[in-house]
Amino acid sequence: MIKKVGVAILGVGVVGGGTYQTLVQHHDFYVKTQQVDITVEKVLDRSVERMAQLGIPQECIAGNIEEIIANPNVDIVVETIGGIGVAKDFVTAALRNGKTVVTSNKELICKFSHELEKLAKRNHCGLYYEASCVGGVPIIRTLLDGVQANHIQSMMGIVNGTTNYILTKMTYEGADYTEVLKEAQKLGYAEANPTADVDGYDSMYKLSILSSMAFHTKIPYTKIFREGISSISAKDIAYGKELGYTLKLLAIGKNSGKEVEVRVHPTFIPKDHPLASVNDSFNAVYLTGDAVGDVMLYGRGAGALPTASAVVSDVIYAATHSDVKYSTFKNNATAEADIKFVSNFESAYYLRLTVADRAGAFAKVSGTFAKYGISIVKVTAEEGTTLILVTHTTKENAVKNALAKISENNLATIESVIRVEQ
């Protein structure tokens, strides 16, 4: 028996427009393969021109959110507006009225899923957000329905296409960060204000969502160490290549039971690591489970149709599953009291220093590292007083303290500090 399902779409920009096109163009395919007759009942958007370009019939255009939530033919509300202003108000209204919600809004889910999920449970409807993380890559469905037999021990991901595009261009063309950022903005890969991407906020929101699901405990974004790529130089990328490393902005989560480590920062990884070959605007997530071992999911992390693929997959899932799944953890605003977040994490480090041009400075720099228990794997002296170091795995605080002491004693100028994951 074919099930009829009505959908309303809030916002028909890039992702919403792609969602509308996918639902309309693939309608018959979904009837045949999924036994669901999905129709777009209503669309709400401020741009009359955009809706006309998409060919949305006049009778499907809603004047306000009230018209949508009062419509008995609308079963699922798709939110692709973005942000946490009007989008949160509209999603809240839909859930309060018993409408299942599908959203691509990572900031909304990261910051308010605890509120929204309570509403969904109270009103016996669903809240789905596959498209909030990693575009068209089905990472959330994998965590929910693919690797749930495992304790996920770690995850590393390239989850932001803008920064990956910038770092790829810098790596292969030796281009300057500012130059590549301007190019990315012209091509539409980066926003006019790129802060959310280049300073790591976007990756931080996604890591909060994904690590909460992977580790079955709430990981608030406020617990995540964050560092962006704006201080990265082509010079350091080139030195890293000589040492056998590739630079990526990684979202990293590690779980040892009661201790959780979550961080977003530029990271050198060995050039033969699977993530090292993920270039341009592509994304990937590398999981390690205690039973399955290593799993990597790879694909387009943004774009109209890739992200629409994830949105529509949630629509179909909601339409074909009467039982709703909610979080596998206590989804509160804060973390559980017994979870310890590791801030003094362990890593190897790439360091570039300009050593003071005076007798004994090199030896004193080396002695300072030794004093803080930091041992060096590789040392390269470049351009006279430039020193390139790669450490053994050590503690974050040890490196910070050693570098502070080196600066305090005017032994060297700290030019660059980049973490290394082996």
383: pLDDT strictly greater than 80: no
pLDDT score of 385: 85
Q: Which residues pair with 248 in a beta bridge?
A: 267
What six digits make up the tokens of 71?
């419509």
343: pLDDT strictly greater than 90: yes
Q: Tell whether 329 is covered by a domain.
A: no
pLDDT score of 319: 97
pLDDT score of 327: 95
104 and 147 fall within a common domain: no
Number of Cβ atoms within 10 Å of the Cβ of 188: 11
193 and 101 fall within a common domain: no
Catalytic residue among 206, 223, 248, 254: 206
Q: Tell whether 334 is covered by a domain.
A: no
114: pLDDT strictly greater than 80: yes
115 and 167 fall within a common domain: no
Q: Tell whether 341 is covered by a domain.
A: no
pLDDT score of 359: 86
For residue 191, what pLDDT band results from cuts at 50, 70 and 90? confident
Mean pLDDT, to the nearest integer, of 103-114? 98
pLDDT cut 70: percent of the chain above it: 100
153 and 113 fall within a common domain: no
11 and 118 fall within a common domain: yes
Annotated catalytic, 254?
no
109 and 156 fall within a common domain: no
Q: Tell whether 12 is covered by a domain.
A: yes
Q: Tell whether 71 is covered by a domain.
A: yes
Element holding 179 (H helix, E strand):
helix 177-187
8 and 75 fall within a common domain: yes
SS (H, E, C) 365-411: HHHHHHHCCCCEEEEEEECCCEEEEEECCEEHHHHHHHHHHHHHCCC
Q: Tell whether 393 is covered by a domain.
A: yes
Mean pLDDT, to the nearest integer, of 205-225? 98
pLDDT score of 382: 73
pLDDT score of 97: 97
Using one digit for the tens of pLDDT, what is the confidence trace for 66-93? Answer: 999 999 999 999 999 999 999 999 999 9
Mean pLDDT, to the nearest integer, of 82-107? 97
Number of Cβ atoms within 10 Å of the Cβ of 228: 23
105 and 144 fall within a common domain: no
381: pLDDT strictly greater than 80: no
167 and 295 fall within a common domain: yes
pLDDT score of 290: 97
Count structural domains, the chain.
3
pLDDT score of 258: 80
Q: Tell whether 57 is covered by a domain.
A: yes
Burial of 118 (0-12, 13-18, 19+ CB in 10 A): middle
Using one digit for the tens of pLDDT, what is the confidence trace for 7-64? Answer: 999 999 999 999 999 999 999 999 999 999 999 999 999 999 999 999 999 999 999 9
- Give the whole-angstrom CA distance, residue 272 versus residue 72: 54
Using one digit for the tens of pLDDT, what is the confidence trace for 304-339? Answer: 999 999 999 999 999 999 899 899 999 999 999 999
- For residue 314, which of 156, 127, 153, 183 has the smallest C-alpha distance? 127
104 and 144 fall within a common domain: no
358: pLDDT strictly greater than 90: no
* DSSP helix/strand/coil, 275: helix
pLDDT cut 90: percent of the chain above it: 92
pLDDT mean across residues, the chain:
96
pTM: 0.96
Domain span including residue 179: 139-300
CATH of the domain at 33: 3.40.50.720
415 and 291 fall within a common domain: no
pLDDT score of 232: 97
Q: Tell whether 402 is covered by a domain.
A: yes
148 and 78 fall within a common domain: no
CATH of the domain at 189: 3.30.360.10
pLDDT score of 311: 98
188: pLDDT strictly greater than 90: no
342: pLDDT strictly greater than 90: yes
CATH of the domain at 406: 3.30.70.260
pLDDT score of 190: 86
Looking at 300, 331, 364, which one is the last position of a domain? Answer: 300
